[in-house]
Structure formats: structure tokens, C-alpha cells
Structure 1
Amino acid sequence: MTEPLVQPRTINLAFTGASGAQYGLRLLQCLMAAGCTVNVMVSRAAQVVIATETDLKLPGSPQAMQEALTEYAGARPGQLLVFGREDWFAPPASGSGEKAPLVVCPCSTGTLSALATGASNNLIERAGDVALKERRQLILVPREAPYSEVHLENMLRLTRMGAVIMPASPGFYHSPQSVSDLVDFIVARILDHLGLPQDLMPRWGEERAKGKRGDQG
């Protein structure tokens, strides 16, 4: 018997300076809709990317950013928390904090390098280091092309450490009709890995299985 999906209470979500801000923002909306509490971390480069790729302009201070993202994602009061880049007292900064998964979406190749080498120069890098040392779930969503040998070596090293590398490479077998459909393809895969229910995208073979059940009815 397949075990039911277990919904995590808290998710740590980091935005870094790779292209693909739409993936992280859509994921944030879905996590809010799923009732999760989300600890958000945003790098300086990510702020620039978000402003370039979307209509969302995030203010500099964590409190003001929290208010902006709460409104954007439709979060309940207290459901979304934003932590500063050097807030070493934030829950994701310590192994004694809540055992929450960490998703870095999008994940820059600079962040890949920092995590692969154990750098902890800011809260995002420290949160990744904690996830690795505590053997917590770590999902990294790079968006780069082509990958250099250094990038590939870092991804291999992180995979061997237990991280999941999930490049923002959407499929086309679901016949996407819009850019949003392509974004949802990746977000659905992330939600699946987090054990969260999602109806953004049918799982492989799901429609065929439904059809068979319907024929038997």
C-alpha cells in the first residue's frame, strides 16, 4: 500500500540570482495555498532578477519585503517570514532549528559552488550547509545553459551529498499552451518531491489510469 503524502509544516525557500524568478514565485504561491509556513531568503542578485523578469519590485528591508511577498502570494498573517542575508538567528541558520526542507529556486551557479565547497558567507549558503550536514531535504533548481565543467562537477558533488538537482528544464509532453504551463511543470515536480499535493500537472500515466478506471465503471 502506498503511504499517504505527508505535508511539511515549514519550508525554507531561497531565491538567488539565476534567471527563472517565475519558478520561485509560483512555487511560493503554491506553498501558501497548501497551507505551509515558508521561511524566505532573497539574495541581492535575486532582487535584481525578480525586478527584471517580473513586475514585482521587492523593497530592501526584510520587513518591507515580507509585506510585499505576503500580498503577492496571498499569504495569511504570519504564514510567510522573510529573513535578512546575515540574520544568523533565523531558523534555517542552525541545525537545532526546525527540520524543514530547503528549496533554492532559482539556484545560481555561484550558489551551487558555495554549497559544494561548504561556504557560509550569507544566510542562504548557511541554510544550505545546514541542510547538507543535517541530512535534510535540499532541492536545487539551477537555470543556466550551457553548463561548464565546474558547474557539472559541483552538481555531481552536491548530488553525492544528498541534494536533488532539478534543472529548470520543463517537458513538453503535457502540450503546454503558455509560459505559465512551462513554469507549472517544474513547480509541480518540486511539490511532488516535497510530498505536497498538487493539481498543476498530471503525473505520468495518471490520465491513462483514470481512463481505465472509468471504463471499468
Structure 2
Amino acid sequence: MDVVELLPELVMFRFPVGHAYLWRDPSGLTLIDTGVPGSAPAIAAALEGLGHQATDVRRILLTHYHGDHTGSAAEIAGWSNAEINAHHLDTPMIQGEAEGPPPILVADWERELYAQVHANTDTTTPIAPVKVDHKLDDGDQIDLGGGVTAVCVAAPGHTPGSVSFHLPAPGVLFTGDTIARTPDGTVILGVFNYDPPTAAASLHKQAALAPRIACFGHGDPLTENTAAALHATAEAL
């Protein structure tokens, strides 16, 4: 795992699959997504390297229920009884009470990629369910401290309860898997969507926010010309 500082308050934990992000406030830490199962020790070590303690994590924001984003949520929440925040439609899957809908794979390249991902996915390590303390809806606000608020932006299509988290004051958008960035830097609609047309509409909705920085679940963040890149991707759909 690589640790990348994007802003003094914002750090990326770059995993091979499913990045996580840290928002730092003197009153406590907020983790956005948690990586695959088994990621917690690497995150704890990174926190210590940044001068924090694992118990400083106050809240966890989950963009959706997939295991490469929720896989370590239960373990990390146990460090300090951190509050779990997620959309109410994905809550049953996060809590282990239901299974989510399968994706609709619309192109040959997406089917091939899906097969590759599953061939390299560890299916032996279970994803521990975790209780969602705050079931979110579109527009709900979360106080991150220091005058910074995260707004829950409902962005369904990848999963029923996919969300992005928008921090209007610093201009940061955490997209989860609703938007992605390829290795060559191209911004694309996220893949493996259960409802592709709705996913496309959600990308348009997020592009209209015109963030300064976009943090993706897969692919490197955009820190320059971000609003223009998101707008161009939305218009190309």
C-alpha cells in the first residue's frame, strides 16, 4: 500500500484494488472506504506513520457495499467504535442481511475484465458484516470537524445505494466506483454496474458539482482540471 498526501488534510491509501482515503482533522480522523479484507494492519501502520493512532478514527464513510471497499470496515470500526455511515439502500448488504444485484456487463471488454478480476480475487477471506450506525440519504450532511462538511450524494447505478461524498468547502469529491480513472489517466464511467443507464445519470450529477479534486475507488485522483475532465466524460456518454 502506498501513502499519498493530496492535501495537508487529505491522504490517499493506494491499494492494488479499492483505494481508501483519509480526511484529517485535529478532533479526529475520517476514513472513506476501507479496502479489501485484511487491509486494516496496513492502514493502522500508515496512520502511525502520519503521527496518528488507530483509535483516532472517529467515523467511516462507505461509498457502497462491495468488499473491496467495505472489507476491513468491521475491524477498523472496532479500534475505536468508529461510526459507520452508508446509504440506506446498501445497508442490508453491508450488514450481511442480503445479497446485492449482479452487474450487467454491456461490452466484451467489460466481460473480459470482470473475468480477470474474479480470477484474481481472494474468495477465501470472508467479508465481515458491520453495523451501519447512520443510514444516509441524498443530501445528508456529516460534520468532519474544522468547519468541513461531507454531503452524501446519492449516485445509484453501480449498486442501488452507491454514493459519493462531496466536501464543498475544499472542493473534494470521493466517487467510490461510480467514476474511475484508467492507468493512462482517462476518466471513465465506473464498470460492473447493475443499472448502467442510472449509473450514467449519476456521473452527470456528480460532474455538475465541479469539484477541484476527485478521488476514485479505482485509479489515481484528479487534482488538476478536474471539473473539465468530469464534464467531458459525462458529455461523451
| TM-score, normalised with respect to structure 2 | 0.34
| TM-score, normalised with respect to structure 1 | 0.36
Using CA pairs below 8 Å that are at least 6 residues apart, which structure has the higher relative contact order? 1
> Where is the strand percentage greater, Structure 1 or Structure 2?
2
> Where is the helix percentage greater, Structure 1 or Structure 2?
1
